[in-house]
């Protein structure tokens, strides 16, 4: 639930970006969400939890399954980009059809993953039990707050997308930097707060689950879903990303695999993850705004 409602913001912002004529920003925000959850959110969580509790543990098996699902997503992102590199064609019906087929495969993988994690093997993904907290709101109040918050997110998304052109002109930032760093940070604010808070409370199992599940959901659900709903606009989105985006996503998944392999975390590992994110942010910042995009 933390991951789903956190990514609702990402989905709304990305859709408004596509409808507003900025599909490249929506694509970049997908990249930014993936590397942001893996490196920044998980890194800050490990720092917050590690400074207070020295060392924390989480399920290696559950994290390993999430990494495997992310590897599938990386393959799905690589193939359209390879097609563009081989054919030299960054647009066209063939690329759009390929993206739709791959998006369908990723969505099927996501649905099967839900069945696996929530039904057939839910014992693997259940975090360590803690004393249940009494709900502070009734279900009706919680639903009302959720609906109001969603409406405000939609308004925020429209304002954010409307300011992209002005930000580019005034600050000279590229679409890639705005999407990967700025838009993704706004869209992932919920994961930042929830994951860091859980780690600080020594619930690292849940903190890692929020970060990895949110990443998987972005890669296997949000991205392919945007490909399909973009057909309702005048700016269809494909799964063709530039080489740098594919590389940073692949490297981030590789780093995640190494960090979660032992099922333990500490503050220094968190610092390293944040530093990797900072390096990627610097690389995107110095990309020229005139760079040709898919």
Average pLDDT, the chain: 83
Rounded CA separation 173/212 (Å): 29
Classify each residue of 46-85 as buried b or exposed e, where b means 16 or more C-beta atoms within 10 Å of its C-beta. bbbbbeebeebebbeebbbbbbebbebbbebbbbbbebbe
The residue among 213, 237, 176 whose CA lies nearest residue 20 is: 237
User: pLDDT exceeding 90 applies to what percent of the chain?
Assistant: 26
Q: Which two tokens stand for residue 60?
A: 């290696």
Is it the case that residue 3 has pLDDT exceeding 80?
Answer: no
Residue-wise pLDDT tens digits, 219-231: 899 999 999 999 9
Q: Say if pTM beats, i.e. exceeds, 0.75.
A: yes
Q: Which of 34-43, 117-126, 284-293 has the highest mean pLDDT?
A: 34-43
Rounded CA separation 214/212 (Å): 5
The residue among 105, 102, 104 whose CA lies nearest residue 239 is: 102
Rounded CA separation 290/287 (Å): 8
Residue-wise pLDDT tens digits, 83-94: 888 887 767 788
Q: Where are the alpha helices (DSSP H) in the chain?
A: 2-19, 23-35, 42-53, 60-87, 93-115, 122-125, 139-162, 164-171, 175-177, 184-187, 189-200, 204-217, 223-229, 243-260, 267-285
Rounded CA separation 71/253 (Å): 7
Q: Which domains does the chain have, with CATH numbers?
A: 2-129+139-285 (1.20.1420.30)
Collect all residues with Cβ–Cβ distance below 8 Å to 23 and sequence separation of at least 6.
17, 230, 235, 236, 237
Cα Dmax for the chain: 58
């Amino acid at each position: 639930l933390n991951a789903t409602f956190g990514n609702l913001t990402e989905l709304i912002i990305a859709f408004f970006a596509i409808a507003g004529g900025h599909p490249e920003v929506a694509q970049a925000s997908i990249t930014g969400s993936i590397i942001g959850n893996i490196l920044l959110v998980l890194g800050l969580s490990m720092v917050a939890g590690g400074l207070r509790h020295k060392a924390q543990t989480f399920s290696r098996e559950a994290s390993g399954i999430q990494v495997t699902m992310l590897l599938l997503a990386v393959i799905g992102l690589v193939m359209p980009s390879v097609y563009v590199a081989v054919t030299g064609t960054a647009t066209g019906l063939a690329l759009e059809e390929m993206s739709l087929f791959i998006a369908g495969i990723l969505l099927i993988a996501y649905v099967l993953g839900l069945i696996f994690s929530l039904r057939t093997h839910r014992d693997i993904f259940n975090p360590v039990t803690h004393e249940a907290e009494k709900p502070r709101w009734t279900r009706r109040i919680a639903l009302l707050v959720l609906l109001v918050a969603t409406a405000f997110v939609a308004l925020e998304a429209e304002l954010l997308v409307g300011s992209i052109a002005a930000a580019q002109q005034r600050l000279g930032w590229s679409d890639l930097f705005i999407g990967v760093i700025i838009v993704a940070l706004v869209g992932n604010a919920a994961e930042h707060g929830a994951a860091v808070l859980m780690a600080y409370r020594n619930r690292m199992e849940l903190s890692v689950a929020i970060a990895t599940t949110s990443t998987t959901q972005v890669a296997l659900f949000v991205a392919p879903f945007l490909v399909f709903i973009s057909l309702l606009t005048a700016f269809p989105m494909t799964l063709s990303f530039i080489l740098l985006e594919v590389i940073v996503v692949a490297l981030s998944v590789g780093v995640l695999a190494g960090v979660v392999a032992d099922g333990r975390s500490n503050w220094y590992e968190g610092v390293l993850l944040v530093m990797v994110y900072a390096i990627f942010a610097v690389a995107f910042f110095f990309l020229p705004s005139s760079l040709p995009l898919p």
